[in-house]
A and B are shown apart, each in its own frame.
Chain A
Amino acid sequence: MPESSFKDHVRESRTLTSRVIISATVVLILLGTLVLRLAHLQITNHNHFTTLSHENRVKLLPLPPTRGLIYDRNGVILAQNLPTHSLEITPEQVRDIDQTLTALAKIITISEDNLKHFHRLRKQKRRFDSIPIRVRLNEREVARFAVNRHRFPGVEIQARLLRNYPQGESMAHLVGYVARINQQELERIDTSNYAGTSHIGKTGLEKSYEDVLHGTVGMQQVEVNAMGRIIRVLENHPPIPGQDIHLHIDASLQAIAAEAFGEKNGAAVAIDPNTGGVLALVSKPGFNPNLFVEGISSAAYGALQQSDDNPLFDRALRGQYPPGSTTKPFVALAGLETGTITYTEKKFCPGFYQLPKHEHRYRDWKKQGHGYTDMEKSIVESCDVYYYDLAHEMGIDKMSRFLRPFGFGQKSMIDITGELRGLLPSREWKESTRNIAWYPGETLITGIGQGYFLTTPLQLASATATLATHGILRTPRVVAQITGATPSETANPLQPEPTRLPAINQKNWDDIIFAMTQVVEGMRGTARHIRTEEYRIAAKTGTAQVFTVKQDEEYDAETVAEKMRDHALFIAFAPVKDPQIAIAVIVEHGGHGGAIAAPIARIIMDHYLLDDKPLTQEDQP
């Protein structure tokens, strides 16, 4: 028995040893597999996993640039970035959110909507993200919270910059506005440069000079943890702020011009003929551009869009009006230059004009007629019959060819997008677009700026400036200078070379301009009541028909509804000897140009030429 027990013992021990050796072998094989696996991960795929690890922890954060400011010629701010305060809560730092909200509501107004919005955002955001509970706090609220701040850990006032237009309505069309980037814009813009930017220029200068104003985005490379929380900043490339733009526009002139319109709608454009710089660009009525920055309510937007006054419409650049009698100095000049007529040659005006072998009577505005009329009288008293006959004798082709270089029917190429080209009628234009022959009667009404003839207020002002400079057409410019953070960034935007009109006899310029001064200074001048002793004005009034009076009827301003009343027009430049300002004013449904539009122009000129105290920064509210 002990013998067998011993044998058993040895046999069992031997079995076990062999099994242990097998086990050890298996252990070694499995450890070898593990090492191979590790080598596969750590050597073969090391680069791959290093990339993944890097991507895990490093994130790029865009740093949006600060938008450039817009100044007028005197340094008055037209567009700025104002800090706006919002109250934000970081849930992870707040012990009891509901209690905090109740306590907050006691010092700051928090509406049901605010709460609802907050709770919705809270579900979407991470615990360490700060969530706005109230935006646009006023100063009182900011101060009240600041005093109680210690009671609210995890609640903070956040400031961010919001575009603001201190001039409001009067600059709305010119400066334009920024608003949230929409889908179409997103497809157009360089999205990497707009990373972190929420707003983009939508209209006016904000749109036209978007590239200059926006600046260049900066980047921050940060290390984040698995929850996305920023642990530290690895690299920092600060953004390059947008450049500021300085305009030719005079904010006080603009404000005074807008005010001069009163309740009337219309547009006024003032240009410095020596530079082409636009001094004022008014479209009435305006609107409050600040509404658009944070998103306008659909009700407010609907009201603006459906208003009969059409406040969103930029009349200065896009309003196309018949120029009416303001065309006459240009047509008269055409008559002289084409040799159709001389300055002193007289025509008889019986109060109407008839084409040979035609029954139709083309009326003069003065029913009883002007009698014998030379060119000076035709401009001073604005005789229509004189121009019917002159246009008829000159013919549409010569007239159209002569007027074109003044910029009629073409875009002025002003540095704000969106202008319309107006329409300068011609035989070719009518045949190509309407496929109808040109009728002789159409030549007559083109001669007095009616019919197909359409101009924008900007075109009229620019053409007037061209009269003032004796034929030097300068592209109108709004922006005078672009400045950046460093002097090297300062630039003057490219000013196109002025175009010189085909040679025109100096005497003819003098004659026409003399006639235009008589519009103001002559005893029978249509704008005689704006005469001033301070400086001399060369001008022309105009009245553009909106409503066609039938052959046997008479136009009676009293009975014609306001919407059907004539547009009042006025062009002028001053001082005559050394022109500093050229103006076009259009008052919609204003009636006679001399009565309504001329005084507005006078106010603008007075302010620009006489008041040497411009509105300065200190006068800002």
Chain B
Amino acid sequence: MIPRSAPSRELTQSTPAKQQGALAWLHLDLPLISGLVLLCGFGLIVLYSASDQSMAQVERQLIRLGLAFVVMVVMAQIPPQQLRRWSPWLFGAGILMLVAVLIFGHTGKGAQRWLDLGFFRFQPSELMKLAVPMMVAWFLSSARLPPDWRRLLIASLLIIVPVLMIAKQPDLGTSLLIASAGIFVLFLAGVQWRLIAGFVALLAAMAPALWYLMRDYQRQRVLTFLNPESDPLGAGYHIIQSKIAIGSGGIYGKGWLNGTQSHLDFLPESSTDFIFAVLAEEFGLVGILALLAIYLFIILRGLYIATQAHDSYDRLLGGALTLVVFVYLFVNTGMVTGLLPVVGVPLPLISYGGTSLVTIMAGFGILMSIHTHRKLLPT
């Protein structure tokens, strides 16, 4: 037995080493890519069930995932210094396109989000998910950190302007994600705690004004969130059915393909925004803990990459992009479990749909680029 096992051990050791070499050559990060592949695989299994065993839908998602991975690999090849140089231009182009959307935008599902370029439709707000943190990181890292109050004010404007433009489309979910990406950059840049406290206080004071600015359907969502049973057949229906799906799943779930809530169409949007409830119904708490563990691993890896980054720009951008993924996760799961109001944010890399998938994977590509292009610190 022993002589036989010796060569095989050698074999198993050599294979990862080879892969490591290929990954390094492609500027990819093994832990991160392992987590992502695991997550996407899990997502496809759940999607197969959520889409009522539609292989066609799974194939379409697979194609999107493939495209997103390609984008990730491409992004990983671009050195962060290059991204840094492009940041203001990208941001400027994004703002122009947002203006264009507000003027010529294509309306879909009651909101103007799309820019129809003839051959394909493009959502500039997706670009801004990357462009805003890049711009803020570029701006802040061009001077000493933490920023003084004047630079902080300008940085805030860089965030607020696109956020307001997107909120006006209206797309509450995306504007929330972009705002948080910008704010994470500020937070990571070391903005003083008293300023953060002041900001939170200001936000609280502005809440009534925010209510006034909200559209009817947005107000309704907030009201429904506060008391879903007030409107069991209308707006509250989503939340109630979602909670029933999750709760009835129990610890071990009803089993793959056996979720009655999703298969009998009680659960709305079961393959997109509410796919988490399908997972909870069929795989139970155990399945969810497994999913959350993968997410946590990816997020912690992203944060680790940020701490190891070469310069301030890389650190701020990497940290912010990672934390945005968590915002996606928490806003989506919070909505599905009834902790937060209904906001149209997908479960990252699991929900069916392409646009945000590409953006998120592009973000991970940037993270890998940051990690693989870093140089050793001068000693």
A residues near B, CB below 8 A?
6, 8-9, 11-13, 15-17, 19-20, 23-24, 27-28, 30-31, 33-35, 37-39, 41-43, 45-46, 48-50, 52-53, 56-57, 223-227, 231
Q: Which of B77-85, B168-176, B244-252 contacts A (4 or more CB under 8 A)?
A: B244-252
CB distance from A6 to the nearest CB of B (A): 7
Mask of B247-272 contacts with A, CB within 8 angstroms, 1/0: 11111000000001100111000000
Measured in the bound complex, the distance between the Cα atoms of B289 and A43 in whole Å is 14
Question: In the complex, are the beta carbons of A16 and B303 less than 8 A apart?
Answer: no
Q: Is the interface of B mostly helix, strand, loop or mixed?
A: helix
* Number of chain B interface residues as a range: 35 or more
Q: Mark B292-303, 1 if CB is under 8 A from A, else 0.
A: 100010011001
Enumerate chain B residues within 8 angstroms of A34, measured Cβ to Cβ. 292, 330, 333-334, 337, 339
> In angstroms, how far is the closest chain B Cβ from the Cβ of A230?
11
Q: In the complex, what residues of B have CB within 8 A of residue A35's CB?
A: 288-289, 292
The answer to whether A224 touches B264 (Cβ under 8 A) is yes
CA distance A35 to B289 in the complex (A): 8
B270 to chain A, nearest CB (A): 10
CB of B316 within 8 A of chain A? yes
Asked if B307 lies at the interface with its beta carbon under 8 angstroms from chain A, I say yes
Given A19-B187, A227-B265, decide whether A33 and B312 contact each other with a Cβ distance below 8 A.
no
Residues of A within 8 A of B307 (CB): 13, 16-17, 20
Taking a contact as CB atoms under 8 Å apart, the answer to whether A50 and B250 are in contact is: yes
A23 touches B323 (CB 8 A): yes
> How distant is A293 from chain B, measured CB to nearest CB, in Å?
38
The answer for the CA separation of A8 and B146 in the assembled complex, in Å, is 10
Give the shortest distance, in Å, between B317 (CB) and chain A (any CB): 11
Chain A residues near B247 (CB-CB < 8 A): 41-42, 45-46, 48-50, 52-53
In the assembly, what is the distance between CA of A16 and CA of B137, in Å?
Answer: 13
Please give me the 5 A-B residue pairs with the lowest Cβ-Cβ distance, nearest first: A49-B247, A53-B248, A225-B264, A15-B190, A226-B265
B284 sits at the interface (CB 8 A): yes
- Complex Cα distance, B187 from A38, in Å, reads 29
A16 contacts B319, C-beta separation under 8 Å: yes
Q: Is B378 an interface residue (CB 8 A)?
A: yes
Supply 15 A–B pairs (Cβ within 8 Å), ascending by A: A8-B145, A9-B377, A16-B312, A16-B316, A20-B319, A27-B296, A30-B326, A34-B292, A34-B337, A38-B337, A42-B246, A45-B247, A46-B250, A49-B243, A50-B248
Query: Chain B 308-327, CB within 8 Å of chain A: the 1/0 string?
Result: 00011001100100010010
- The answer to whether A20 and B188 touch (CB under 8 A), given A42-B285, A226-B264, is yes
B246's partner among A12, A30, A38, A57 (CB-CB below 8 A) is A38
A19 and B188 within 8 A (CB)? yes
B191 nearest CB across to chain A (Å): 9
> Chain B contacts of A56 at CB under 8 A?
241, 244, 260-261, 264, 266
Residues 38-75 of chain B: 1 if any A CB is under 8 Å from the residue's CB, otherwise 0?
00000000000000000000000000000000000000
Cross-chain contact B248 with A46 (CB below 8 angstroms): yes
- Which of B184, B249, B303, B316 is within 8 Å of A42, CB to CB? B249
Tell yes or no: B127 within 8 A of A by CB: no
Q: Please, how many angstroms separate the alpha-carbon atoms of A35 and B334 in the complex?
A: 10
Residue of A with least CB distance to B263: A225
Contacting residues, chain A, for B261 (C-beta < 8 A): 53, 56
A interface, over-half SS:
helix
Please tell me which one of the listed residues B146, B288, B377 contacts residue A38 in the complex, with CB atoms under 8 A apart: B288
Complex-state Cα separation, A16 to B189, whole angstroms: 6
Contacts of B288 in A (CB 8 A): 35, 38
Question: Which chain B residues lie closer than 8 Å to A57 at the CB level?
Answer: 260, 264, 266
Query: Are A15 and B146 in contact (CB-based, < 8 A)?
Result: yes
Residue B4 is within 8 A (CB to CB) of chain A in the complex:
no
A224 to B188, CA, bound (A): 52
Complex: A27 Cα to B280 Cα, angstroms: 21
**Which residue of chain B lies nearest to A10 when distances are taken between CB atoms in the complex?**
B377
CB nearest neighbor in A for B248: A53
The answer for the CA separation of A75 and B307 in the assembled complex, in Å, is 97
Given A6-B378, A19-B188, A49-B244, answer yes or no on A43-B251 (Cβ-Cβ < 8 Å). yes
Among A23, A24, A49, point to the contact of B248 (Cβ < 8 A): A49
B residues within 8 A CB of A20? Answer: 188, 303, 306-307, 319
B18 within 8 A of A: no
B150: chain A residues at CB < 8 Å are: none
- Say yes or no: A24 contacts B244, CB within 8 Å: no
A225 and B260 CA atoms in complex are apart in Å by 9
Query: Shortest CB–CB separation between residue A369 and chain B, in angstroms?
Result: 90
Q: Are B266 and A23 in contact (CB under 8 A)?
A: no
Contact present for A225 and B266 (CB under 8 Å): yes
**B144 at interface, CB cutoff 8 A:** yes
Q: Are A23 and B246 in contact (CB under 8 A)?
A: no
- Tell me how far the C-beta of B24 lies from the nearest C-beta in chain A, rounded to whole angstroms: 24
Q: Which residue of B lies closest to A48 (CB)?
A: B247
Residues of B within 8 A of A13 (CB): 307, 315
Contacts A42-B284, A56-B261, A56-B266; is A16 near B249 (CB within 8 Å)?
Answer: no
A8: chain B residues at CB < 8 Å are: 144-145
Report the Cα distance A339→B330, complex, angstroms.
109
Q: How far is the CB of B236 from chain A (nearest CB, A)?
A: 14
- Residue from A8, A20, A57, A223 with most neighbouring chain B CB atoms (10 Å): A20
> Contacts A20-B307, A43-B250 given: A27-B188 contact, CB under 8 Å?
no
Q: Which residues of B contact A43 (CB under 8 A)?
A: 250-251, 285
A435 to B306, CA, bound (A): 112
